[in-house]
Every structure is written in C-alpha cells, then in structure tokens.
Structure 1
C-alpha cells in the first residue's frame, strides 16, 4: 500500500515536468489545440529560446544570487536562532518579531528597498539581489534552526563553560556542529527560495546582465503572443539543475528537517 502511494506521488510530481517537456517540442498552434503529446515534434524552440533571451547569463545570475543569499542567510540565521532558543523571554519576542515580519507581503518592501539599494549603488547587480534575498530569508532559516538548537541539551554547553569556553565559543564549537544537519537543510530550503524569487529580481534588476532566470521566463510573454514552446524550453533549463540538486541532497534535506521537527 505504501509503495502504491509513493508511486502515485512520484507520478504526480513528474507529470508537470513531462508535460513541460512536451510543450517545449510544440508550436504555438499545437499548444493551443491542447493534448498531451505534440502532433509534430519541433526542436527549434530550444535554440530560439537561447536567442530570444540570454538564458546562459541569466542562469548564472540565478545561481550566483541564490548561493550568495544562502551564505548570508546562514551567517545571520545561525547566531539569531541561538539567541531565540536560549534567550528566554527576549529570545521569544525576537522569534515572534521575525515571523511577524515574514508574514507581511513582500511587495510593501519593494520601494524602500529599491531606494536603499540605489543609495549604495547596488541596483542592477547580483550582489544587491543576493543581499536582499539573503536577509529576506532569515526568518525562514531561524524558524527551521530554532528547533534544532532547543534539542541540544543545555548541560553540554554548561560543561563547555566550565572548561573555560565563553558563551560565543561554546555556541560555535559545541552547538553549531550538533545542529549541522539542520543548518544544511535550512540552507537548501533558502537556496530554493532565493533561486525561485521573482518580485525582487524584476524590481531591482532592469539590465539583462543582472537579471535572473525567473525574470527571463517572463520575457517570452509579449503584448499579443506568448512563445509557449520557447518558454517551456527555458523553464526546463531553469528547473533541471535544481531538480538534480534536490535529488542529490534529498537525504540531507529530509533527514535534517525530520530531526528538527520535535522540540
């Protein structure tokens, strides 16, 4: 029974990708006529997609922004999660404040963030997008890591303090290695969030040299026509590397998140 359910879940997960592959091999009229399979296979959508927008550069920007944002998120979220878990009442208030801030719609922050980035010269740059996405994902990472820190017995830290370590050194040398699986899982989740982000990318990067692939996918939609086949081909270019990363890191992702599920 469980294998059957897993098989159904796998089919449901793979079907959209297979249909996307089918769309990438069809012309506009063939797409509008419906159906699951192309009536005539067209390979020209793939080179045309790379000619329409600079997909290779946008893909590189997406990975650069996602990696930079994930690194920044980890550097900020790890000590913050330690404070929320060990800080008593003040830690709980900080935790609530971070989650409350994340509940606000991101669009309300676009205008002030744009002027802040413009003031420091970071508009139209991968560094600016990495900075914004990295800080925006901190509440998610703290939410994931808080449970891992709480699972570490305080007695272990107290023993480290008795041995002469400071609180900061104990957190770095004792707690951090113990929450490493959770940190890896949180980094993977934040990487996917930063990689798929669209609102900040389309608002802060207007030049093609700094745009990410999510912005590039929107450029296939014109005023009167939509290049469905080219957009499908570009979408596969965007998701296949992330799918491979998710499959390769699934043990760390699932194992890390399950270990931090119980406080």
Structure 2
C-alpha cells in the first residue's frame, strides 16, 4: 500500500517526467504535500489522480477540460467524446484499408501468384499516405502541445473528413497555382482582393468551427512555414501564404468584405 511517494518515485512508477508533474500542479490538477524542507510528497489519492489525468488525456480531453471535470463544473462531455470517436473511427478505417491490402498481397504470394502492379501500387499509395500523416504529426508536435492538439481535434472533428480529403487539397492547389501565376501584384489591388475572397470561401469549413486559440495557432504554424516547407504539402507555398496574409491585412484595413470569417471575429 502506498502511504506517500517522492516526486522521483512517482516518475519511476508512472513514466511521467517531473516537469509534467509540476505542470499539472501549476494547473491545479495535483496538490502534493510538502515536507519541512519543501520536497513534494504524493499520497495514494494523488497517485490515483495522476492515473486519472493520464487516462483522460488519452481519451482526448485537454487539461482545462480535465480540471473542469475534477471540479464538477459544466462540460459537454458527450460532444467531446463524440469528436474523439470520430477521429478514432477515421484512423481505424485507414488501418483497416491498409491491412486489407497487405492481406490481399500475402494471399496472392501464398498461392504462388506474382505480386501484380495494381496491388503493389495500392500498397505504395497507402505507404505514402501513412508517411504524409507521420510528417504532419512531426510538424504539428513542434507547434502545438498535446493539450492544444486535443482541443483542436475536439472542435474540428466535424470537418476532418472534408478537410483531409484529396478533393479539398486539390482545390487549394488550384487556387494557389493561380495566385503564384499572378504574382507579383499589389496587395491592395482588386485582383488581390478577389483572391482573398476565394481563399476565405475555401477556408469556410474551418472558420465555422475555429476558436480564437485555433485561429491564432494555425496562423503561427503557417507563419513558420519556411521552417517545414517541403516536409509536407498543405496545398500552397509559403510565398502564397505571405501574399494572402498581406492582401488580407490590406483588405480589412480598407473595410472590404473578405468572405466568411469566424462568428467571434465579426
């Protein structure tokens, strides 16, 4: 039975870092006791609380949401869990598809058939998609904390299927290609304004669900695009992003309607 553990002992038992434990404490999720010398001591109840935090994070809850749950404050838990289930369902479908392709290939090999071009192409395509997802994850992990990612997924779950579709990416590439072909152009020109309106019309699914934190975080991600450009393809270049940013600033300063924006931005 655990009476009390030091922070180093908790680190060994849970696999968490001491930094994470202190961060949870700073967020009000943990309240370890202190010895006379000021060292943290964790009771059995605190250890149980740590396990609860880890479990709830795996379920997709952010730290702020976990805090509200612990404090018995209002929280639309059903909406949050449905969003997380939607994300997991999409991932499960992708895994099932890749698994089916592998099983088909092995079945043909086991029966003495050569691996045909169509099956090989299917496997290569799935491999490329998995690599793209992994590259996106590496970039996202650089700019968003796990809590911020969970918050993003919670709010964006309804649009993820559309947002991640090949058709939607092709629409961005088509618009980006026309902008690239028209550059250079004045950021305050009528042509630039027309491109800005097209941009925000295409962005409307995101604008409908984006919170201020999501909007600001995404802007920071793309402002840093030169650092990761080439690793993943968002459908447009950093050159196009910089131009659209300048043209948007010019259009809003002039009082122009630039298209659909988040309700809180109006």
**TM-score for both structures, normalised by structure 2:** 0.22
Q: Which has the higher helix share?
A: 1
Q: Which has the higher contact order (CA 8 A, sep 6+)?
A: 1
Which has more radius of gyration?
A: 2
